[in-house]
Amino acid sequence: MNRVALRARWLAMHGVPRAYFAVQARRGDPLAQMLRSGAIDRYSLMEDIRARGRLVRSPHVWGSVDHAVCREVLRDKRFGVTAPSEMELPPPLKKLIAKTDPGVPNPVEPPAMVIVNPPDHTRYRHLVAQSFTPRAIDGLEARVTEVTMELIERISTTPNPDLIADFATQLPVAIIAEILGLPADSYPRMLQWGHSGAPLLDVGIDWKTYRDAVNGMRDVDDYLIEHFRKLRAGQPGDNPFSRMVADGSMTDRELTANAALIVGAGFETTVNLIGNGIVLLLQHPEQLRQLHDNPDLWPNAIEEILRLASPVQMTARTPACDVEIAGTHIGAGNMVGLFLGGANRDPNVFTDPTKFDITRINAREHLAFASGIHACLGAALARIEGATALRALFETFPNLRLTAPPERRGLINLHGYTRLPAQLGGRRTTSAVLPV
Ligand code: HEM
C-alpha cells in the first residue's frame, strides 16, 4: 500500500478521532480526556467518570468504570466487538477505512480473534485454545522457571540492570516463542514488534507512531509467513500451535493475525504485570515482608497487582440491538467503553479500593483479564509468569532497590513502566523458585 493511502487510513482511524477528542476534552468530557490522556493521571479521570454515574454518555460513546456494568456488558451476548470498518463513523470515513486495508496483521483488526464476533470467533478460539489447555500450560511451567533462573543469573552480573528491558520483557518473549515454535534468534524481532505494535491499542495515535506500527506489522507478516511455510514444509515443532499451522486449519492471514495477537497480547501485558508488581512491592515493604514470611501468599499478591495496576485498562463493546443496562437505554450500534482499571477500583466491590493489600480476600474478582467469550486465553500462563518472576527476583535480591523514579510508558490502554533501573544489592545464595 502506498503512503498516501496509509495516511488516509490513519486520518480516518486516528487523525479525525484525535482532533475530535481534543475538542471534547477541552469541553471537560472525562471520556474524551481518558482517551487522549496517557501520561496524566488516568485514575483521577476514572473517579470523575464514576462520580457522574454507572454509565456515562459522551456525544458519541458511552463509558463505564462500574464493575457490575463492565462485567454484565462483557458477558452479554447482545454485545459484540466492533472492527474499525464497522464503527459508527460518518460514511465517507467508513468507506475510506474499508478501502485502505494494508493487509498486515493488526491486533485490533480482524481476523485477530479479539476483534471478531461469533461464529468466526468461536472457530478461532477453539483452534488457538489448544495451545492454552491446562496440559499445555503445565508443560510451559517448567520452561517459565528455567527461563526465570537464567534471567536471574544474567541480571546478577549486569551492572545496574533495567528490570524492564533486562528482566520483565525477556520472560514473556521466551515463552511466546515456545508457544509459537519460534527460534531464540527471533526474540529481538518480537520485542521490536511488541514495541511498535502496542500503540495500535490506543485511539487517536499520531501519524508517525501509526506508520511505524504498520511497518513493524509488515515485518511480522513477512517473518511469520516464512515461519509457517517452513512448518508446512515438514518441520512442524512439537507444540499445538505448530501442529495447527501444519494441518491447515487456518488461512495464512488468519494465522499471522492470531499469532501476532498472541505476541502482542501475551508480551506487552505480562511485561506490565511484572513491572507494575516490582514497583508496588517496593513501595510497600510491609507487604513484601509478608510474602517473605508466607510465600503461599504469592498467587493472591498477583491478583492484587492485576487489580490495582491493571496492565490492560480498557476495552469496548457495541450492542447489536437496543438494550437496557443498569436502567439506561443504549441504542443499537452505540459503543460502550469499558474501563477495566476503574472497574477494578469500584468501592462497591473492593473495600478501600486504592489500598494495596496482598491478603485482600476478593482480589481475584478483578476484570483485568476481561470476562465473557473474549476473556484472556493466556490468563493462567500470565499468572504463573508473574508469580515465578516476581518471587524469584525478590527472594534472590532481598535488598533490591530502584536507582531512579519509575517512568510510565505513556500509552493509553497498556499500563506499565518503560524503564526500572535498579541496584540489586546482595544476593541470597539459597534462592529457590518453587511452584506457586
Ligand atoms: C497480565 C497479562 C495479561 C493481561 C492483563 C491480559 C488481558 C487481556 C484482556 C483484558 C483480554 C480481553 C480483551 C477484550 O475483550 O477486548 C485478553 C484477551 C486475550 N489474551 Fe490476554 N492478557 C494477558 C496475558 C496474555 C498472555 C500471556 C497471552 C498468550 C500468550 C494472552 C492472550 C490473549 C488472547 C489470545 C486474547 C483474545 C481472546 C479472545 O478474543 O477470545 N494474554 N487479554
- Protein residue with least CA distance to atom 37, ligand 1: 114
Query: Cα dihedral sign for 376, 378, 384, 389?
Result: negative
- Per residue of the chain (436 residues), what is the pLDDT tens digit? 678 888 988 988 888 888 888 898 888 888 888 877 554 688 999 999 999 999 999 888 899 999 999 999 999 999 999 987 777 777 888 888 888 887 788 888 899 999 999 999 999 999 999 999 999 999 999 999 999 999 999 999 999 999 999 999 999 999 999 999 898 999 988 888 888 888 888 888 899 999 999 988 888 889 999 988 888 887 666 778 887 888 788 998 999 999 989 988 888 899 999 999 999 999 999 999 999 999 999 999 999 999 999 999 999 999 999 999 999 999 999 999 999 999 999 999 999 999 999 999 999 999 999 999 999 999 999 999 999 999 999 999 999 999 999 998 888 899 999 999 999 998 886 555 555 5
Give the distance (Å) from ligand 1 centre to CA of residue 135.
Answer: 19
Which of 79, 369, 417 for a ligand 1 pocket mutation test, highest count of atoms within 8 Å of Cβ?
369
Residues 71 and 367 sit within 8 Å (Cβ to Cβ): yes
Q: Who lines ligand 1 at CB under 6 A?
A: 113-114, 125, 176, 179, 261-262, 265-266, 269-270, 273, 311-312, 315, 368-370, 374, 376-378, 381-382
- CA gap 213, 125 in Å, rounded: 25
- Protein residue with least CA distance to atom 38, ligand 1: 374
Using left for φ > 0, alpha for ψ between -120 and 50, and beta otherwise, residue 117 falls in: beta
What is the helix (H) or strand (E) element at residue 136, kind and residue range? helix 134-156
Supply 379's cell numbers. 490468563
- Protein residue with least CA distance to atom 21, ligand 1: 376
What's the predicted TM-score (pTM) here? 0.95
115 CA: nearest ligand 1 atom: 40
Give the distance (Å) from ligand 1 centre to CA of residue 266.
Answer: 7
What is the helix (H) or strand (E) element at residue 64, kind and residue range? strand 61-64
116 CA: nearest ligand 1 atom: 40
CB count in 10 Å sphere of residue 304: 23
Give the distance (Å) from ligand 1 centre to CA of residue 92.
Answer: 33
Give the distance (Å) from ligand 1 centre to CA of residue 203.
Answer: 19
Give the distance (Å) from ligand 1 centre to CA of residue 374.
Answer: 8
- CA gap 17, 93 in Å, rounded: 11
- Protein residue with least CA distance to atom 32, ligand 1: 378
Q: How far is CA 152 from the centre of its chain?
A: 24
Residues 292 and 340 sit within 8 Å (Cβ to Cβ): no
Angstrom CA distances, 71 to 2, 52, 363, stand at 42, 19, 15
Of residues 99, 69, 94, the one with CA closest to residue 83: 94
Amino acid code (one letter) for 24? Q
273 CA: nearest ligand 1 atom: 1
- Protein residue with least CA distance to atom 11, ligand 1: 376
- CA gap 257, 120 in Å, rounded: 13
316 CA: nearest ligand 1 atom: 16
Give the distance (Å) from ligand 1 centre to CA of residue 355.
Answer: 25
CB count in 10 Å sphere of residue 361: 9
Which of 269, 371, 415 for a ligand 1 pocket mutation test, highest count of atoms within 8 Å of Cβ?
269
- Protein residue with least CA distance to atom 24, ligand 1: 266
